[in-house]
């Protein structure tokens, strides 16, 4: 899977994951931000943040330790100009997001951004998807911040020393393909069946459950250009849980329903109303508890969201039903099979993009919606409280909109990133999602 991320990457569609963390400055600490920058530059990266990919033809692809490390390149200290607004921070983050990471250097960068409005500063992290996924990133963030207001800079995310489980030696290719038991064989047949469903949709078929390549084309599926639009939003987690319980839905279902409603309203405002049900690709973590190892360990489900004409409460019911059906298929797979399924789908999507077949066939999905477990306690950096943590993730091949949600100290923090060529104003989308949430809250009895 990590190799697929590297092979599928292009200048216009880089595959890295990012995070924007906002901190509130305590009074009387004018050197606080400089102290953080100095400590971050003094830290030395630990695996996999000390390595570069070696895809040479003389040996199998591998990671090797970078021959050099420049802390001033990897840890940047910048500031917004006087009079800047929060929207200016979002434009800056979009600009920083859009460029590829240099594969000749360790695949991460950090920007510490001062003079954010509201007596705040920000830390923007950019890491290649081949070395980290959402769950492992959240665990590293948690390990790199403190639980108290005490001064001092903890070890940064790229240098924390978390326990890493050694992977099992890979099976021989023939054994992987043929399987060693009836169970193994059935798992590979499950993968082939799921991929067959995707190919069936490419030629106009229709199936139920988790179905890739069943989406109708929209502005989210326009060719991805080298531009990014970014937005953020925070909603109260307890209220979202309460609404979900009323409808027999999960917290994730509530987030998906308000995103679904917001996207439809946003597209209508753009003058491009979408007359079909959106299809969301939803990553599913395959990590076990305590697994903070490098790389990506995710599979995916594809869920049809609500009908365009529905109100947000009826939409929530449809989203919940669709997600339950989609997740049943992944639960029926082993961990290795689910990972192989995701890599296979990514290979199909990449092939259709390279050959331009994707311009005439249904896209794999309209958007990516990801939910990352975070933390429910207050965290601090050098005495400054964390007041917002927004995942600004990668754009998938042929899918120009990603919304990633993380739980953070009583809130659900939403990070939006989109293809800036076709989705230019994602703060407007975040506003529509917020209004959809308010409408859902009003329509829920005793919420």
Write out the H or E segment, with its range, that includes residue 83.
none
Unique residue bearing structure tokens 């326990």: 163
Looking at residue 366, the DSSP 8-state letter turns out to be S
The domain over range 179-375+395-443 is classified in CATH as 3.30.559.30: yes
Q: H-helix or E-strand containing 343? A: helix 335-354
Residue 387 CA neighbour count, 13 Å, CB half: 15
pLDDT of 167: 45
150 neighbors 28 (Cβ within 8 angstroms)? no
- What's the order of all strands across the beta sheet hosting 401-408? 228-236, 411-419, 401-408, 367-375, 279-285, 298-304
Residue 294 has pLDDT above 80, yes or no: no
Taking the CB of residue 62, how many other CB atoms lie within 10 A of it?
Answer: 11
The token duo for 75 is 């840890």
Q: List pLDDT tens digits, range 38-66.
A: 999 999 999 999 999 998 767 788 899 99
Cα 338 to the center of its chain, rounded Å: 18
DSSP percent split of the chain into helix, strand, coil, nearest 5: 40, 25, 40
Sheet-wide strand order for 16-24 = 75-79, 108-116, 120-128, 16-24, 384-392, 380-381
pTM: 0.85
Helix (H, G, I), strand (E, B) or coil at 69: coil
221-245 confidence digits (pLDDT tens): 998 888 999 999 999 999 999 999 9
- The average pLDDT across 131-144 equals 90
| Domain spans of the chain, in order of start | 2-159, 179-375+395-443
Q: What is the DSSP letter of 47?
A: T
Mean pLDDT of the chain: 85
Neighbours of 10 (CB within 10 A): 14
Question: Could you tell me the two tokens for 276?
Answer: 């079909």
Q: Are 440 and 405 in contact (CB under 8 A)?
A: no
Query: In the numeric block, which tokens belong to residue 397?
Result: 């091949």
The upper half-sphere exposure of residue 54, i.e. CA atoms within 13 Å in the direction of its Cβ, equals 10
State the helix-helix crossing angle for 312-331 and 426-443, rounded to 10 degrees: 100
User: Which tokens in the block code for residue 273?
Assistant: 């109303």
Query: Beta strands of 313-394 (E only): which ranges?
Result: 367-375, 380-381, 384-392
Residues 398/353, Cβ–Cβ less than 8 Å: yes
Instruction: Please determine, for residue 342, whether its predicted confidence score (pLDDT) is greater than 70.
Output: no
Is pLDDT of 400 > 50? Answer: yes
What pLDDT sits at residue 181? 42
**Residues whose CB falls within 8 Å of the CB of residue 437, separated by 6 or more in sequence, listed in order:** 235, 240, 258
* Dihedral sign of CA atoms 376, 381, 387, 390 in order: negative
- 8 Å CB contact between 338 and 330: yes
User: Which pLDDT value is given to residue 175?
Assistant: 45
Distance from the Cα of residue 273 to its chain's centroid: 26
CATH code given to domain 2-159 = 3.30.559.10
Whether the CB-CB separation of 350 and 5 falls below 8 Å is answered with no
2-159 and 179-375+395-443 have identical folds = yes
For residue 335 the two structure tokens come to 């961990």
């Amino acid at each position: 899977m990590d190799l697929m991320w590297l092979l599928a990457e292009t200048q216009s569609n880089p595959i890295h994951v990012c995070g924007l963390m906002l901190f509130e400055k305590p009074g009387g600490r004018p050197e606080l931000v400089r102290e953080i920058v100095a400590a971050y530059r003094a830290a030395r990266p630990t695996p996999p943040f000390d390595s570069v990919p070696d895809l040479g033809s003389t040996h199998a692809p591998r990671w090797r330790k970078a021959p050099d490390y420049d802390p001033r390149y990897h840890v940047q200290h910048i500031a917004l100009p006087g009079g800047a607004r929060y929207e200016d921070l979002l434009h800056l983050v979009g600009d920083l997001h859009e460029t590829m990471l240099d594969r000749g250097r360790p695949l991460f960068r950090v920007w510490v951004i001062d003079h954010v409005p509201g007596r705040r500063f920000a830390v923007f992290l950019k890491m290649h998807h081949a070395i980290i996924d959402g769950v492992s990133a959240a665990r590293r963030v948690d390990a790199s911040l403190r639980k108290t207001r005490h001064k001092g800079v903890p070890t940064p995310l790229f240098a924390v020393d978390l326990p890493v489980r050694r992977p099992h030696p890979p099976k021989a290719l023939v054994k992987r393909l043929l399987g060693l038991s009836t169970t193994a064989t059935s798992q590979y047949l499950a993968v082939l069946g799921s991929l067959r469903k995707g190919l069936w949709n490419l030629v106009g078929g229709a199936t139920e459950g988790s179905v890739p390549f069943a989406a109708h084309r929209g502005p989210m599926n326009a060719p991805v250009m080298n531009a990014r639009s970014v937005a953020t939003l925070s909603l109260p987690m307890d209220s979202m849980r309460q609404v979900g319980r009323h409808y027999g839905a999960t917290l994730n279902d509530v987030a998906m329903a308000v995103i679904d409603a917001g996207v439809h309203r946003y597209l209508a405002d753009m003058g491009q109303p979408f007359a079909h049900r959106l299809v969301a690709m939803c990553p599913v973590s395959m990590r076990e508890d305590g697994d903070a190892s490098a790389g990506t360990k995710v599979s995916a489900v594809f869920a049809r969201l609500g009908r365009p004409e529905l109100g947000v409460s009826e939409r929530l019911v449809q989203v919940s039903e669709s997600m339950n059906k989609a997740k049943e298929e992944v639960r029926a797979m082993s961990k290795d099979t689910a990972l192989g399924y995701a890599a296979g789908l990514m290979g199909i999507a990449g092939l259709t993009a390279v050959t331009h077949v994707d311009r005439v066939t249904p896209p794999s999905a309209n958007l990516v919606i990801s939910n990352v477990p975070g933390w429910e306690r207050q965290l601090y950096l050098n005495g400054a409280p964390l007041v917002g943590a927004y995942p600004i993730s990668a754009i998938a091949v042929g899918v120009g909109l990603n919304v990633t949600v993380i739980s953070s100290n009583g809130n659900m923090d939403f990070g939006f990133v989109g293809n800036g060529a076709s989705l230019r104003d994602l703060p407007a989308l975040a506003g529509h999602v917020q209004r959809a949430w308010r409408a859902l809250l009003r329509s829920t009895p005793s919420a």
